[in-house]
Chain A
Amino acid sequence: MRGIFLFCAVFSILALGCICVFLLANGLPFIGKVGLGNFFGTKWDIHNGDYGILSMIVASLYVTALSMIFGVSLGLLTAVSLYKFCPRRAVAPIRQMVNLLAGIPSVIYGLFGLIIIVPFLRDYISPNGVGYGILATSLVLSVMVLPTIVGVSLDALNAVPKNYYEGALALGATKEQGVFKVMLPAAKSGIMAAVVLSIGRAIGETMAVIMVIGGSPAMPTSLFQSVRTLTANIAMGATELSGDPMTALVATGVVLFFFALLLNASFSLLKGGEKRENKRASKANS
């Protein structure tokens, strides 16, 4: 029996190994074949053998950065508000609703972007008649990551020992000062973990993005320009391409995989940091 359970446990390792091997075995030889300069170049023209994904990396980074600026500022303030500045009785229902919203399929957010945000930007905001692009995508993504940021930041705030806050008040700080100057900095690494988690979701999100990004494989020069992210590149070509262009999509997946590994590593570092800090704090208090 132990053997069966052991196999189940090792299955995750095997699966991860398989993913690494299959992705690298299919992606890396392709990158080697077309050359690093071509693959990380700016020109994507599959009919002429140009597979440059630099513009997509840049677009992915822009979209992620902008959605984090919107999403983190709004989400963090929301979490603070739920932590102290909100009627007590409202906290639990709001919290439950936010949890529910975290489970909404990303295509729903994409559809919202497609039928509401894109036409709105096109008709009222955009200077050039294009609603698709970085701004639309960032707005969609920032709404999408809000539940994650709110939930995880609130947990981080709740994990900070209460006597920090009480100590601040005892020293004459107002309620607001106690929250913003003491609790928020104390929850720093937990909040950073929330941010990293959301970056992972934003950079890896596909379906919500392809519906609002526009899809042109060009270097981004404006917020209202049809561009293409790494994820969109994979999903848009997936149903149409074959041969080398399809392998180029697999190689794009490898690049995305590396981004994900990087974010995973920083997430576990931050999580570890949060645990250590809170442990040290409660030890010092007891």
Chain B
Amino acid sequence: MKTSAHQRQILKYAAYKLAAQAALAMTLIALIAVIIFILVRGIPHINMQLLFGDYTSRAPSLKPALVGTLYLIVIALSIAAPIGIGSAIFLSEYTNSKSRLIRIVRVAVETLAGIPSIVYGVFGYVVFVVTLGFGYSLIGGGITLAIMILPVIVRSTEESLLAVPRSLREGSFALGSSKVRTTFAVVLPCAASGMVTSLILAVGRVVSESAVLILTIGMAVRVIPQNVTSAGTSLALNVYYFGSHGYPEQAAATGVVLLVLVVAINIIATVLGKVFGKGELADG
């Protein structure tokens, strides 16, 4: 009797294991299916007109979106990178982790990371489109995105700064360097790989984001933006626009372009991290 109950237990858990393996297979199928579907539907519709042609209703083009995406990357990074890195330097170099200020900053960063992007969009709309009267503009969208990617940059930069061994800093102090000099000449170069990786991942976030932009840059899919105050569009926004405005083929093709871009960004980040990571080990 006892043995059979024991046996049953063992069988039950063996079944769990099977379920887990089936789940793994299903997860992989589901995720690979998404990618394969997009590729199968999209690749046949990629052509020069779509990528670089002039926009008409019958033959839409991604040229405005490519330009707009570039604008957004430049604006968002040029704001978020210095502030994010500065913030991380303060968090890791200038305070001990018990201080009240640092705790509040951390809570703020965590909270910013958890706010849904559409709420950032509403914020950007209220501030830039309405209050400041910019109307729909790339600069408004870019600044909103900058605030959104700030937590990404702060957290991963801080991690790579903390990974720099204490002994390096102490050695630098012992040689008579100031705090600022130590930070810039010793700590930052050692953490360079992590920082570059975090910036590239932040670019990935900018490229993927669309909910913020629908409220801030105006989804002007036809016109190539002239300057930062123009309304514009981005690749991700174009996937939505094409998908729900009657261009399913172009939407899938744009999806392929976006997918390739995001995967490339991720691979570059990983490879850079590895290359620099090895260099660091050698230095240490």
Direct contact of A and B (CB under 8 A): yes
- A interface vs B, CB < 8 Å? 1-2, 4-13, 15-16, 18-19, 22-23, 26, 73-78, 80-82, 85-86, 94, 96-101, 103-112, 114-116, 143, 146-147, 150, 174, 176-177, 179-181, 200, 203-207, 210-211, 231, 234-235, 238-239, 249-250, 253, 256-257, 260-261, 263-264, 267-268
Q: How far is the CB of A201 from chain B (nearest CB, A)?
A: 8
What is the bound-complex CA distance between A105 and B30, given in angstroms?
Answer: 16
CB < 8 Å: which of B31, B86, B127, B147 contacts A146? B31
Task: Assess whether B34 is interfacial by the CB under 8 Å rule.
Answer: yes
Whether B114 lies near A200 (C-beta < 8 A) is: yes
Q: Do B236 and A177 have beta carbons less than 8 Å apart? A: no
- Expressed in whole angstroms, the minimum distance between the Cβ of B220 and any Cβ of chain A is 10
16 A-B pairs in the complex with CB atoms less than 8 angstroms apart: A1-B179, A10-B105, A12-B112, A13-B105, A77-B22, A78-B26, A81-B24, A86-B24, A103-B201, A106-B211, A107-B236, A206-B116, A235-B118, A253-B118, A256-B118, A263-B114
Give 5 closest A-B pairs by Cβ, nearest first: A204-B116, A8-B86, A77-B23, A253-B122, A105-B208
Is B139 positioned at the interface, with any CB of A under 8 Å from its CB?
Answer: no
Instruction: Name the contact of A234 in the complex, choosing from B19, B107, B121, B201 (C-beta under 8 A).
Output: B121
B82 within 8 A of A: yes
Name the residue of chain A whose CB is nearest to the CB of B115.
Answer: A260
A23-B263 Cα distance, complex, nearest whole Å: 35
B244 close to A104 (CB less than 8 A): no
**CB atoms of A81 and B117 under 8 A apart:** no
A234 near B87 with CB under 8 A, answer no
For A94, give the chain B residue with the smallest CB separation: B28
Q: Could you tell me if A103 and B204 are in contact, using CB atoms closer than 8 angstroms?
A: yes
Residues of B within 8 A of A5 (CB): 86-87, 89-90, 93-94
CB distance from B169 to the nearest CB of A (A): 15
Query: How far is A200 from B120 in the complex, measured between Cα atoms in Å?
Result: 14
Stretch at the interface among B44-52, B188-196, B248-256: B248-256
A76 to chain B, nearest CB (A): 8
- A107 contact from B10, B104, B255, B270, Cβ within 8 A: B255
| A105 and B207 contact, Cβ closer than 8 Å, known pairs A12-B105, A98-B31, A100-B266 | yes
Check A115/B41 contact, CB under 8 A, given A101-B31, A210-B244, A263-B114. yes
Within the complex, what minimum Cβ distance (angstroms) separates A11 from chain B?
5
| Contacts A8-B86, A108-B239; A78 near B208 (Cβ below 8 A) | no
- B21 near A211 with CB under 8 A, answer no
Q: Number of residues in B with C-beta < 8 Å to the partner?
A: 92
Judge whether B215 and A234 touch: CB under 8 Å. Answer: yes
Centre residue among B82, B102, B107, B219 by max chain A CB count within 10 A: B107
Q: Is the CB of B27 within 8 A of A112?
A: no
- Given A7-B86, A115-B41; A78-B27 close (CB under 8 Å): yes
Q: Type the 1/0 row for B198-214, where 1 means its CB is closer than 8 Å to any CB of A.
A: 00010010011111001
Q: Are B244 and A264 in contact (CB under 8 A)?
A: no
Chain B residue with minimal CB distance to A8? B86
Instruction: Flag whether B243 is at the interface (Cβ < 8 A).
Output: yes
Question: In whole angstroms, what is the CA distance A103 to B104 when docked?
Answer: 28
| Distance from B231 Cβ to chain A, minimum over Cβ atoms (Å) | 11
Contact B87 A11 (CB under 8 A): yes
Q: A231–B178 Cα gap in the complex (Å)?
A: 50
- Is A86 a contact of B27 with CB atoms below 8 Å? no
Task: Give Cα A109 to B121, complex, Å.
Answer: 20
Q: Is B173 an interface residue (CB 8 A)?
A: no
Answer whether A108 and B87 are a contact pair too, CB < 8 Å, given A9-B105, A10-B105, A257-B115.
no
Assuming the contacts A115-B41, A207-B236, asked whether A78 and B117 have C-beta atoms less than 8 A apart, the reply is no
**Closest partner residue, chain B, to A238 (CB atom):** B215
